Structure 1
Amino acid sequence: MPPTNTSDASAPVRTRPFREGLVSLEPPRLLGSRCGACATATFPPREFCPACRAVEGLEKTELDRRGRIHSFTVVRQAPPGVAVPYVLAWVDLPADQVRLMSTVVGAEPEAVELGLPVELELTPFATGEDGAELLGFRFRVIDGEENA
């Protein structure tokens, strides 16, 4: 269910990605590209394949929502207004053979470890000039039985 506007509970807040072509909202997915020649997937989408250099046959593709932490750091100093500490990680999406950088939430920084399973989530982080809520992405640690 989309968030509602606090000034008028009957009017839904418009939401959109902070950058077009980076994420889809329903269902939440990262948007990448896949090469028709060698099947290499990339994020963000590219105009050419970094593996085989093909410029034709690249198709937009939705990437898997689940991944694992490849490496990470705990950021303890940041510009004013940015809450610390937070986890910044390289996340592998094994189903697509893609690695990308993202913040990771859902666990205390001291509990984050290599190989920890994570899942994509969209999160509001700003308001656009048109009043729309701008959504970005991050990954949330999967806990409980889903960790297996």
Structure 2
Amino acid sequence: MSDTVRTWRHIQQRYNLIGTKCTTCGELFFPSRVVCPNCRRKGNLEPFQFSGKGKIHTFSVIRSAPDNFKKSAPYAVAVVELEEGAKLTSQLVDCDVEDIEIGRIREDGEDGVISYGYKFKVIK
């Protein structure tokens, strides 16, 4: 799938953190699913917008980056646990990688435009 097609196909979930919620069991999923793995065909999924707030579950600092990201190194990639419970992998931005701690992030804020991936800012 080309990058352009992939970008447009996933634009809702990328820019709005839209996943799904099973109305049968209450489980939340991100990214969206078409079938609830718990309820299977008895499940009923509906769109669900996540808040974008959460905490850093774990992270890694990339110091030796691949060619496309060499100008950004060092940078941090984290598993972010959203307040609603879903976890996603994200780049952490606008922070000193030495100051990152597990448990602290905030939503993308006034100037935040998510571009081709999920990014979170660290709270100090």
Same-fold status (TM-score > 0.5): yes
1:31 matched to 2:12? The reply is: no
1:97-116 equivalences under 5 Å are: 97-116=85-104
Inter-partner Cα distance in structure 2 for 1:35 and 1:123: 26
| SS in structure 2 of the partner of residue 110 of structure 1 | helix
Whole-Å Cα distance in 1 between the matches of residues 106 and 62 of structure 2?
A: 19
Task: Identify which of 80, 100, 105 aligns with 1:117.
Answer: 105
> Match for residue 121 of structure 2?
140
Contact residue 70 and residue 90 of structure 1 kept, 8 A: yes
Give the aligned length: 111
Amino acid paired to 2:75: Y
SS at match of 1:68: strand
Aligned-residue CA RMSD (Å): 1.9
Q: Are 1:85 and 2:80 counterparts?
A: no
Partner of 1:54: 40
Residues 68, 91 of structure 1: 8 Å contact kept: yes
- Indicate conservation of the 8 Å contact 1:37/1:54, yes or no: no
Change (3 A) 1:53 1:76: farther
Cα distance, 1:87 vs structure 2: 0.6
SS of residue in 2 equivalent to 1:23:
helix
Question: Which structure: larger Rg?
Answer: 1
Contact 2:25/2:39, CA 8 A, preserved across alignment: no
**How far does residue 93 in structure 1 lie from its aligned partner after superposition?**
0.8
How far does residue 91 in structure 1 lie from its aligned partner after superposition? 0.4
Normalised to the residue count of structure 1, the TM-score between the two structures is: 0.67
Identity %: 32
Q: C-alpha offsets along residues 33-64 of structure 1, whole Å, 9 cap, x if unaligned?
A: 101111111110011123x1434410111111
Q: Which runs of 4+ in 1 moved over 2 A?
A: 17-21, 53-56, 120-124
